Amino acid sequence: MSNARKASQAEAVLQEADGGAGLVTPRERPAWVMSLAVHVGGLLLLASLTHVTLSSQDFDPVDSVFQEFDPDDYSFDTVVVETLGNQSDIDDPSPSQAASTTLSKTPQQEFQERLDEKVLTVKQTPTAEIPLPPENEFADVVDVQGQTENPGGIDGAVDRMAVEIDRSLQAKKTLVIWLFDESGSMAPLRNAIADRVEAIYKQLGALKDNDSDSDRRPLKTAVVGYSDKTTIYTPKPIDDAGTIVKTIRAIKSAKSPDENVFTAVAQVSNKWLSYRRRMGYNVMVVVVTDERGTDYGADGSALEKVIRQVRTNGIRVYCIGNAAVFGREHGYVSYTFADGFTDEFPVDQGPESVMMERMALPFWGTRGFGRYQMSSGYGPYALNRLCSESKGIYLIANEGKGAKFNQAVMRGYRPDYRPIRMYVKDLEKNLAKRSLVRAATLTREKRIPVLGLTFNAENDNVLRRVVTEAQKPVAELDFRLKQLQFELEAGEAERGKLTQPRWQAGFDLALGRVLAMRVRAFGYNVVLAQMKSQPKVFQKKDSNIWRLKADREITSGGAVKKLHKKAREYLNRVVDQHAGTPWALLAERELSTPMGWVWVEGNRPATSSGNRKAANDPNRVLFVVDPKTGKKKRVMPNKPRPRPPL
């Protein structure tokens, strides 16, 4: 349409506005009429331009796409993925990390590409519905590296496993393989789990009694036991809660002390692999034990083999077990004999790390911790790492009778769960780490002697004789301590390169304790020499012994005072920087007693020959309460008893 024609139409409009009275001159028209004409002309011109633009492009309208546009669909993932050893698939970078390695693009280019993807997605017809994980899993904060939980006893551990089973069932059918340690010490634990399993399975609603169509049930269970060999109690997985409980209760204690747990995990994973590959089940292995396992091996080859197997096949391994004893290989478990007599025996429950990182030093001159050692807050390294690498969880059912620590604090002191070869390689790179591990090993090659603090002094001759005997092991003690000091001070130069709190606390505690013991040993030898050359005189008539008591005054010379100052500096640093940890507790205990010595007189009542005989009589009769009848029963506690298969 030409501009002249548009002007003519405008004139017609003006005429019509004037009531159709004929042509009107500009002077005769009101001002508002002229304004109306100008605006109408402008609107017609803009309409013409818009029409031309749209008609000149071949563009499909996408109004429906923009109406469904959700800004959240185009937000970047900012979740940080923690790394895990042994080439874990969770080492794959998150979308944001992967994007950071590509060439940068302008926001307009990124938006256009995302919009194009959205348009293409809308035009496609979906062929199958993809099941999504449960919504609550998106919000959960999951610790993916060496995850350990302390849910509070056996009941709490089984309840926590029920949560894991339920999550698995929400995704797909699931096979749960309960793998029980058959040792004698595990009998009470197996029964406790059987009690809880029946209630939990019924709560899950996955098992239904008297259902003939068993092949369609979403949850199946296998029960297996292991000792020196693996025993399959359910050759074919079952789905009846009552049968599962009866099978668990029927497990008998094995006669062998061996517990080949890693061999058992490998066998059951291989036996029921078809459920994972061909039948589309999630497969979960739940190890129930109170020990580390005897087939771990010095090089950890059995562990590495089973880790590769379960990771390759997507099988998750969980463990319900005891906490590893902090920095120790052995813990203690109770065992009740058939006659009702109960005793405790050492078992392999640790350490929580690849190698020993804590020295086996006695608390000489200060109160020790007795037989019950501290909890590390983690499971034994081998089992904890197996759970970690397979994306399972180590559930602590028992922390023992020793000191326990806040789980939130201990997360900052997580052991190194990388493969052993990487751990050893890391030791080679840092002298401080290597020195700590070597010193811890030296304390286990030969026991550090503990010297006596009480001396008979019926007369000066007796006193001199017992003091002379007490001085003999001092030379050995000082030699061993000097060896440890030399080893640790060799790595002191690289102490500043330690970045992990666990290694910092371990090194400082080790050197601080060694120096403290050397100060005590120097002072011990000095005061004994003085007593032997110039015996002290009792101030009380009934005194007949001398005791050495801790004292703040250091009387062994300037060199020893320097060691004393350095020892306190290291120990105080552990207390200040690592509060609420086992290292801080040990440092506090060392600092709680002064490092000097002072003589204190005392009295020891004479023991009659009759009493002495009674005290040493191996045939004396003692009584215990029979747990079944509640009556006293005679036992012979000094009678040799064979070690039970624990």
Identify the burial level of 209 via C-beta atoms within 10 angstroms of its C-beta, where 0-12 means exposed, 13-18 middle and 19 or more buried. exposed
431: pLDDT strictly greater than 60: yes
Rounded to an integer, the average pLDDT of 358-383 is: 78
Rounded to an integer, the average pLDDT of 282-298 is: 88
Write out the two tokens for 244: 């599962």
Q: How far apart are CA 238 and CA 221, in angstroms?
A: 5
Please give the angle made by the CA atoms of 545, 547 and 551, to the nearest 5 degrees.
155
Say what the pLDDT of residue 230 is.
94
Q: What crossing angle do the helices spanning 501-533 and 558-577 adopt, rounded to 10°? A: 150
Rounded to an integer, the average pLDDT of 226-246 is: 91
pLDDT, one tens digit per residue, over 448-462 is 888 888 999 888 888
Q: How far apart are CA 409 and CA 485, in angstroms?
A: 30
Say what the pLDDT of residue 45 is.
60
Rounded to an integer, the average pLDDT of 500-516 is: 96
The one-letter code for the residue type at 267 is Q
Say what the pLDDT of residue 218 is.
85
600: pLDDT strictly greater than 60: yes
Write out the two tokens for 303: 């562990």
246: pLDDT strictly greater than 60: yes
Q: Give the best-scoring range by mean pLDDT among 7-16, 200-209, 608-617.
A: 200-209
pLDDT, one tens digit per residue, over 157-187 is 988 999 999 899 888 999 999 999 998 878 8
374: pLDDT strictly greater than 60: yes
pLDDT, one tens digit per residue, over 558-577 is 889 999 999 999 999 999 99
Considering only CA atoms, which of 125, 7, 3, 636 is closest in space to residue 340?
A: 636
Do 270 and 177 touch, CB atoms closer than 8 A? no
Do 589 and 366 touch, CB atoms closer than 8 A? yes
Helix (H) or strand (E) holding 301: helix 301-312
Provide the strand spans (E) within 150-309.
174-181, 219-226, 230-232, 282-288
247: pLDDT strictly greater than 60: yes
Q: How confident is the model at residue 39 (pLDDT cuts 50, 70, 90)?
A: low
β pairing state of 282-288 and 330-336? unpaired
499: pLDDT strictly greater than 90: yes
Task: Give the lowest-confidence range in 112-126, 190-204, 426-440.
Answer: 112-126
Say what the pLDDT of residue 17 is.
41
Q: How confident is the model at residue 504 (pLDDT cuts 50, 70, 90)?
A: very high
363: pLDDT strictly greater than 90: no
**Secondary structure letter of residue 73 according to DSSP:** G
Helical H segments across 56-106, by residue range: 63-67, 95-99
Say what the pLDDT of residue 367 is.
58
Q: Give the best-scoring range by mean pLDDT among 274-283, 287-296, 328-337.
A: 274-283
Do 289 and 259 touch, CB atoms closer than 8 A? yes
Q: How far apart are CA 323 and CA 407, in angstroms?
A: 12
Considering only CA atoms, which of 137, 122, 211 is closest in space to residue 167?
A: 137
Task: Give the lowest-confidence range in 79-83, 103-107, 233-237, 252-256.
Answer: 79-83
241: pLDDT strictly greater than 90: no
Question: CB under 8 Å to 334, separation ≥6 — which residues?
Answer: 185, 342, 343, 344
Say what the pLDDT of residue 622 is.
45
Cut 0.85: pTM above it: no
Write out the two tokens for 429: 């790179």
What average pLDDT does the chain have? 75
